[in-house]
Amino acid sequence: MKKLKKVLMFIFIPIILACLANVILYIIAFITPKVEIKTANSFSLYDANNELFFSGNSNNEWVDIKDISQNLINATISIEDKNFYRHQGFDYLRILKAMYLNIKNKDIVQGASTITQQYARNLYLNFERTWKRKIDEAWLTIELESHYSKDDILEGYLNTINYGHGVYGIANAARYYFDKDAKDLTVAEASMLAGIPNSPANYSPLIDEYSAKKRQKKVLTMMKNNKYISDAEMKLAYDEKLTYIGKKEKYNLSTLMYYQDAVMNEIKNIKSIPNSFLSTGGLKIYTALDLKAQESLETSMQEQMKDVPEAQVASVMMNPKNGEIIALLGGVDYVKSQYNRAVSSKRQVGSTMKPFLYYAALENGFTSSTNFMSAPTTFTFGSDKTYSPKNFSDKYANKEISLAAAIAYSDNIYAVKTHMFLGEDALIDIAKRVGIDEKLDEIPSLPLGTNEINLIDFVGGYGAFANEGYKIEPHLIKKVLDSEGNVLYESNDTNERVLNKSTVFILNELLSNTYSYDFVDYSTPTLMSVAPRLTHKYAVKSGSTDTDYLTIGYNKDVLLGVWYGYDDNRALDTSESKISKQIWANTVETYLSDKDVKWYDIPENVVGVLVNPINGQIAQETDNKKHICYYIKGTEPSSDKPDKILESVIGQ
């Protein structure tokens, strides 16, 4: 008997203490200031013209619970938290059951978050998994239950939950999917919508209707089990043919959500922004978005990719003066794939790495006329290792060519010779200097773009060429205000000069030859396919690997990078190489169509000389090809001063 008493005391005393602690916590929460939930979870995004283009959970879209379909309420409670009206924020029996099932299956197969807990979680800007964050969420759950009725909490939850495709709140979701008010949703429509928030990327009927219907069936089954509907009503709702609208009232660009996601990703990394909406009362986020640029980019992409349905794209369009990202594509269609390739992926950059090498070369004594032999070459490095790069289509001059020609044709042999001659750290130094932070390998193939680099970071590095030598920080957000109008963050556009202006000018001129008819000779410049489309002057470079095609180009007014490829890294057909080039050309030309575009001014210490562009020597009357190339004064070629580099040290 004594043993039994000890066992009972061992069991019940902790339970009694836990209950007492629970009561004390709720009392403390009750006497603390009330959290204002209707404004706490709102955020609004504004474009470069201070026009609102996205509003998440703002008051003007908030609907009272009495104006929400009872079908939607019943469906949500059934699938998310059937004991919602019976617990005080935590469903302890459900927690124990979930723990048992997860331990038994050695995996997380069931969660136990209540609607109140989910609502508390949604009041934060990010979902970092730290103990402090979990404690904060638990305390907020208690505060919500202490200050608000169940209907108030459910109303807040339904007005702020993510229904996919950048649609927050049931009022917006009802309009987006079915073009109707939230109060008019049928059982079939409500059960479909209630299934989405668990995983919008998987359960949106616009993305995967098969998975969405399976999820709907589960919702309907739970509604039946909870006696909200009968067997007959369940079957009728499941069999009902639903018609989806999938459009917003304005700003219906299919790619705009990629920009918004990139903004929200950036704001999480700004230290001056509290991680909880509770601390700000909501946010007003002013961005660099140029809707004309975004529309130009999306339209061009859709035109060029209509015949390659499985391919993907990523693109970043930037103001090179300050690093503001004015347009962005993270994929072909946000409805079909929410993965933001511009923000999250790293891909091989191919020959678009070469301009950083050639800036280093110009900085170390090379000129536009510097010659190397373009012929099959085997390079020896390290401990008798060898490397034998090839030119595209195995096309070689089999003679000495100038740096200008090497850039126009993207000659791989010339690039590797330059890389080995300068030393493998020279290219890396320039890349770091302009802000490319990716770890780069000191290997012979580096100038051919074998390293994987994030597109935003890489295009940002090109910014130093586009703005005549200044390092920029790519960013989408210009300013953030709280609900009271206080400035929480403002971007700093002060840039640091890291490159020589005259050297950058010469490089930019060389990169403008990639679509010049003056260089049509034994080979063709790499961007000749878009030359007829271009009405302005650009510095532009394309690059390719077996799995990636990339085009990056710019002038003083705009900098644009476009990547094309497949998520599964399948090999690309050579015919696909034109797609990223055409997207690039059509976008910049459309965007600049009504702008006064000017090229860079020639620095005082730079001189232009008419040369044979293939060998870089002073042009003769007998030369078929002639082109003005640029040089630092005193380094220009003359008839008695050929510009050659001793090759014996770098190739055989």
Identify which of 642, 614, 578, 553 has the alpha carbon closest to the alpha carbon of residue 406: 614
Are the CB atoms for 514 and 525 separated by under 8 Å? yes
Q: Which amino acid is at 244?
A: Y
Secondary structure letter of residue 630 according to DSSP: E
User: Alpha-carbon distance 542 to 79, whole Å?
Assistant: 51
User: Alpha-carbon distance 472 to 355, whole Å?
Assistant: 17
User: Alpha-carbon distance 17 to 24, whole Å?
Assistant: 10
Identify which of 352, 378, 362 has the alpha carbon closest to the alpha carbon of residue 418: 362
User: Alpha-carbon distance 562 to 558, whole Å?
Assistant: 13
Query: Is residue 400 annotated as part of the catalytic site, yes or no?
Result: no
State both tokens at 461.
């590095």
User: With the C-alpha atoms ordered 227, 229, 232, 235, is the resulting torsion angle positive or negative?
Assistant: negative
Catalytic one of 42, 69, 113, 351: 351
| Interior angle at CA 79, CA 75 and CA 84, nearest 5 | 90
User: Alpha-carbon distance 236 to 225, whole Å?
Assistant: 16
Secondary structure letter of residue 638 according to DSSP: B
Query: Is residue 80 annotated as part of the catalytic site, yes or no?
Result: yes
Catalytic one of 69, 80, 155, 369: 80
**Cα distance between the two ends of the chain:** 95
User: Alpha-carbon distance 159 to 59, whole Å?
Assistant: 9
User: Alpha-carbon distance 398 to 373, whole Å?
Assistant: 7
- Helix, strand, or coil here: 328? strand
User: Alpha-carbon distance 131 to 136, whole Å?
Assistant: 9
- Helix, strand, or coil here: 325? strand
Task: Give the residue numbers marked as catalytic.
Answer: 80, 351
